[in-house]
Amino acid sequence: MEINTALLKEICELAGAPGYEKRVRDFVMEAVSPYVDEVKTDNLGNVIAIKKSKNNPEGKRVMVAAHMDEIGFMVTHIDDQGFVRFHTLGGFDPKTLTAQRVIIHGKKDLVGVMGSKPIHVMSAEEKTKLPKTTDFFIDLGMTKEEVVKYISVGDPITRDRQLIEMGDCVNCKSIDNRVAVFILIETLKLIKNPAFDVYATFTVQEEVGLRGANVAAHGINPDFGIALDTTIAFDVPGAQPHEKITELGKGAAIKIMDASTICDYRMVAFMKSTADKHNIKWQPEILTAGGTDTAGVQRMGKQGAIAGAISIPTRHLHQVIEMANKEDIANSILLLKACLEDMAGYGWGH
């Protein structure tokens, strides 16, 4: 199965810091409308696209969650020379900020660069210290008088990087989690008659605490839940076999647990058996640090949900060089489609 890399590129390159997902939201609503029965948003900004089953007498609901936001920043100060200070939105390794371009989304989009103290003027002690996010500032190449015409405290900031294909992989900023947005859109195009009513939910503010998924699950009150998100592929030099979490090219990952969720054993077993039945390549995932929308989907409905997750193995997470394998992405689409079509025939009571 070939994936639509042009569509994935368009989705990944959109700007959507936590709380400022409007560009992604507008794109998603237009993209999914022809393939679902209803599209709506809630007060927090989640997109909920509903695809009804043709044979669901009990009215069972399955919520599928893919978050639209990406890690980013917010303007906190503009100094007298026009340099911009910021606060992080989501989890950053400070050393990955070095030598990066960013976009500040004010009255118009302005490209800036992450600046810090040059190594040439660092003391010997400073050279040995790990950087902090507070060591960086954004240089727009403008005076303060020019900057404040367009930029204000509170404006969101995203990272500037385009998607490219590298061998069997795609590489871009915001593969986390635009690849899942892409997978959910493509699945909605393919699925003809889901076993239960599908509430395809494109969530907000995951990177700052699963906030959108919590609200959406409370409103939807799903019986079943599937989250879609990236996971660590630590299949790189120096990694021990037990540290890898997942590996690129080994298939869609079926989540067993992460730091915020122990997936329902019934959903894990169902996903494994469904993958095997349809000859879909898969691998298990146990992520001991980091959480996903799975937690909100599982716990925030009124009775809770039988929930699990399909994870997309990704190298270099939370950097601008996130890398995913195209075959793993395709297998994730196929597994989600198969799960949504086969859910009614599984023995959920055991």
CA nearest neighbour of 331 among 290, 280, 268 = 280
State which H helix or E strand residue 80 sits in.
Answer: none
126 noted as active-site residue: no
CA-based torsion, 268, 62, 71, 173: positive or negative: positive
Q: Are 173 and 320 in contact (CB under 8 A)?
A: yes
CA nearest neighbour of 201 among 345, 346, 64, 22 = 64
How far apart, in whole angstroms, are the C-alpha atoms of residue 209 and residue 212? 9
How far apart, in whole angstroms, are the C-alpha atoms of residue 13 and residue 291? 24
How far apart, in whole angstroms, are the C-alpha atoms of residue 177 and residue 287? 16
Q: Are 144 and 78 in contact (CB under 8 A)?
A: yes
**Given the residues 206, 207, 247, 322, the one annotated as active site:** 206
Give 156's DSSP letter: E
- Is beta strand 109-115 parallel, antiparallel or unpaired with respect to 101-105? antiparallel
Give the residue numbers annotated as catalytic, written as ranges: 206
